[in-house]
Structure 1
Amino acid sequence: MRTQPFKIAILGVCLAAFATGCATYDAQGSDVDQHQRAKRGALIGAAIGVAAGLLSGDSAVERRQHAMVGAGIGALAGGAVGNYQDKQEAELRRETAGTGIDVSRDGDVIKLNLPDGVSFDFNRTDIKPQFYPSLNTVANTLREYNQTVVEVSGHTDDVGSDAVNQRISEQRANAVASYLMAQGVQRERLETVGMGKRFPIADNATEQGRARNRRVEIRLLPLRS
């Protein structure tokens, strides 16, 4: 069932050679549309190859994987995935030590937890300037290990309305993704989503629990062949 979407994505690489004019138009004329797509968690590349990949597939991550293939990013073969993620995890742990970023692992998926207290001021959606060096170290590793989908999700505590929490979570996820792109992480790899208060990792009845729930998470999912 997945063969045809990948063929479409690969065909897109060939079509991308004709996309220069379209990409120029997109950069000049669709800022508002790009902002809206970012809010929906779709940082879409301009090349035809990337677009072909995004229109295929059964899920957001799968579409992102197809887009990466369309952009010429190679996939990892079976046994190579674990070793690739082992090396990336070790580098992330080394580079983020002492920054407040927590690195964890679930199978072949690496997760980075960016706590609210070190990354954003309370009820704000702009990244603290003092957190830039920490994100720079993350971006450096992501550029080196580029065969992963980078899923950025924003989370909040349960204080306030659903609408406000959803907005804050979306804007924080987009802020982190935009910063990573500015540091050279390919936008074809990035998927953003706002989770609002739906997925707490601690008890919202305490201030410490609420502080843990206010976070941005980055999940690194390997691109498999």
Structure 2
Amino acid sequence: MKTKLVLAVSAAAFLSACTTDPYTGQQRISNTAGGAALGALGGAALGTLAGGDDRRNALIGAGIGALAGGSIGVYMDRQEAELRAQLQGSGVSVTRVGNDIVLNMPSNITFDTDRADLKPQFYDTLNSVALVLKKFNQSLVDVNGHTDSTGSDSYNLDLSQRRAQSVYSYLVSQGNNPRRFYVRGMGETQPIADNSTEYGRAANRRVEIKIVPLSQ
């Protein structure tokens, strides 16, 4: 009960930091108030959101139907197609792994060096992701933060957690169900490139979103 209250209060604080763009009708974050609320909501998320089985049971219990059989592949095909269309030219890669979809968001478009607050120009990209996630709500969403190997293990773990929380918090602020999400920082433990080169370190600094079908 206490966890639910913290999430509710933090979400309310985050939403109060948003304003509506008069031209697009989309919500935007106040740079000052939004940063504080992001931290509050993100901090509440880590360690309280459950793994796959618990999330699946909670969503099914709330009336969101689970996918089964051949409908899983078809559903994820449609979701993948919409994500590719929405994210074309954004710098975010869309990769299909079986029935899962992985979005790789590199640091050059998401965060400044050594920071965990979202770059303002990244809001539009996350708005596109949020729209597709809301439309295809029969899926679970893992948000994983990653860093390069520069700095201590503990510092990198903390930074990766805060970055993952920032992405999660923004997606929830756009109307996505927080019960779908699992948020975690991986630090430097899962590099995808060589940390001995600047190119490799830049590739390793990223946030990945893994979208998994809500299946029976």
TM-score scaled to structure 2, two decimals?
Answer: 0.81
Q: Which residue of 1 aligns with 2:141?
A: 150
Q: Does 1:129 align with 2:120?
A: yes
Structure 1: how far apart are the matches of 2:6 and 2:132?
32
Structure 1: how far apart are the matches of 2:43 and 2:131?
27
Q: Which residue of 2 aligns with 1:91?
A: 82
1:220 and 1:195, CA in 2 relative to 1: closer, same or farther beyond 3 A?
same
> What is the aligned counterpart of 2:153 among 151, 162, 175?
162
1:85 and 1:163, CA in 2 relative to 1: closer, same or farther beyond 3 A?
same
Structure 2: how far apart are the matches of 1:35 and 1:135?
16
Q: Which runs of 5+ in 1 are unaligned?
A: 1-18, 44-53, 55-59
Q: Which residue of 2 aligns with 1:66?
A: 57
Q: Deviations over 1:126-166 (max 9, x none)?
A: 00011100110010000000000010000000000011100
Structure 2: how far apart are the matches of 1:150 and 1:26?
17
Structure 2: how far apart are the matches of 1:25 and 1:165?
26
Q: Which residue of 1 aligns with 2:45?
A: 38
Structure 2: how far apart are the matches of 1:211 and 1:124?
14
SS at match of 2:194: coil
Structure 2: how far apart are the matches of 1:33 and 1:211?
28
Structure 2: how far apart are the matches of 1:26 and 1:206?
40
Q: Which runs of 5+ in 2 are unaligned?
A: 14-38
Identity between Structure 1 and Structure 2 (%): 48
TM-score scaled to structure 1, two decimals?
Answer: 0.78
Residue correspondence of structure 1 range 1-225 to structure 2 within 5 A: 27=8, 36-40=43-47, 42-43=48-49, 60-225=51-216
Amino acid at match of 1:210: R
Aligned residues: 189
- Any conservation in 1 of the 2:42–2:162 contact (CA below 8 Å)? no
RMSD of aligned alpha carbons: 2.5
SS at match of 2:143: strand
